[in-house]
Amino acid sequence: MNAIRTLIQATMGFFQELGATALFFGRVVRTFRNTQDNFQPILAQVAFVSYRSVSTVLFAGVFVGAILVLQIDLILSKYDAEIFLGGLNTSTVIREVGPLIISFLLAGKIGAFTAAELGTMRVTEQIDAIECLGTNPIHYLVVPRLFGIMISSLILLFIGLIVSVGGAMSVAWFARGINTVEFASSIPKFVSISTFGAALLKALIYGGIVATVSCHRGFTASGGARGVGQAVTQAAIYTNLYILFANFTLSHILDLIEVLANSARGVS
């Protein structure tokens, strides 16, 4: 009985938090629409986030591509279908793994940093001081961070995909003897413009989740150093949960759209 009650409470807590985060996102978007001079601070955040994350993305990208190519090859080789290695690997990286890995990296590196930074500003009354001066802290602190992280996630996805496919090609060549031309030849069969569109949409949404959750948790932190610690922990937990939830939902929706589009075109 207690286990059921705990489960219900946890589920309710999840959706309550989701609602509060969605309302916060709405508040940020309204502030963005009603204020000016946002371009430069957002650009500064894009540069900051991209610069801080690019090395991790490069490192992770190479290994994700490398691991995937080995795993996919293991399966394909059972059916003598190695010819599809490049296409399957690239499609998987673009559609699923790329946006997901980028968002997890962003959550760990930038999300935690943002939650801690805003949380510290909240508990040391710096946000109150901004408000007291008659300046909207959402405009000054949150708008640049939120949109900066979202735009950066697209840039990092682009870099990550190139590196990941590069890593996969290298491993395919050295470990399996599949040359670059062979590897690339099957890519058009599996990757289309819509694949890139889906990846960009996912990266944008996941980046938005990372940014909104971390800004929200930091902005509403309370209770000194302990409160900041809790804000960072909760930001990490909720970001990952929401991304997985969004990934599941979005993948289904995008697959459904693709099936419908194919049937409309008469493609089986």
Partner 1 sequence: MISVKNAGKKFQDQWIFRNLSLEVSEGDSVVIVGPSGGGKSVLLKMIAGLLRPEEGQIHVNSQNLGMLFQKNALFDSLTVEENLLFPLREVKKITGQAAQEKARRFLFQVGLSGCESLFPDEISGGMQKRLGIARALIIEPKVILYDEPTAGLDPITSKMIAELIRKLRIETQSTLLTVTNDMQRAYQIGNQIFLLAKGRLTLGGGPLEVQRTENLELRQFIYGLKSGPLTEGLV
CB of 113 to partner 1, least distance (A): 13
Residue 191 CB partners (closer than 8 Å, separation 6+): 87, 90, 91, 94
Which amino acid is present at 96?
E
Smallest distance from partner 1 to CB 112, Å: 17
Asked if 152 and 52 count as a contact pair (C-beta separation under 8 A), the reply is no
Residue ranges in 77-142 assigned as alpha helix (H): 85-92, 98-106, 112-123, 126-132, 137
65 or 137, CB closer to partner 1?
137
Instruction: Determine which residue in the list 14, 32, 48, 140 makes contact with partner 1, applying CB under 8 A.
Output: 140
Nearer to partner 1 by Cβ, of 125 and 255: the residue is: 125
Output the CA torsion 67→73→76→82 (10° steps). 140
- Asked if 38 is part of the footprint of partner 1 (rule: CB under 8 A), the reply reads no
Q: Per CB under 8 A, does 74 bind partner 1?
A: no
Give how far Cα 11 sits from Cα of 7, 8, 193, 230, Å.
6, 5, 37, 19
Query: Of the two residues 66 and 112, which places its CB atom closer to partner 1 in the complex?
Result: 112
Rounded least distance, CB 129 to partner 1, Å: 4
Spatial neighbors of 163 by CB under 8 A, at least 6 apart, are 57, 58, 61, 62, 65
- For 117, other C-beta atoms within 10 Å of its C-beta total 17
Shortest reach from residue 40's CB to partner 1, in Å: 12
Please list every residue from 117 through 136 that binds partner 1, using CB under 8 A. 124-126, 128-135
Of 7 and 23, which has the nearer Cβ to partner 1? 23
Is residue 222 involved in binding partner 1 (CB under 8 A)? no
Least Cβ distance, residue 141 to partner 1 (angstroms) = 11
Of 26 and 224, which has the nearer Cβ to partner 1?
A: 224
In this complex, which beta carbon is closest to partner 1, that of residue 42 or of residue 66?
42
Shortest distance, CB of residue 126 to partner 1, whole angstroms?
5
Task: Decide: is 220 part of the binding site for partner 1 (CB under 8 A).
Answer: no
- Please tell me the count of residues contacting partner 1 according to CB under 8 A: 12
- Residues 108 and 236 sit within 8 Å (Cβ to Cβ): yes
Tokens 């207690």 belong to residue: 2
Interface positions with partner 1 (CB under 8 A):
124-126, 128-135, 140
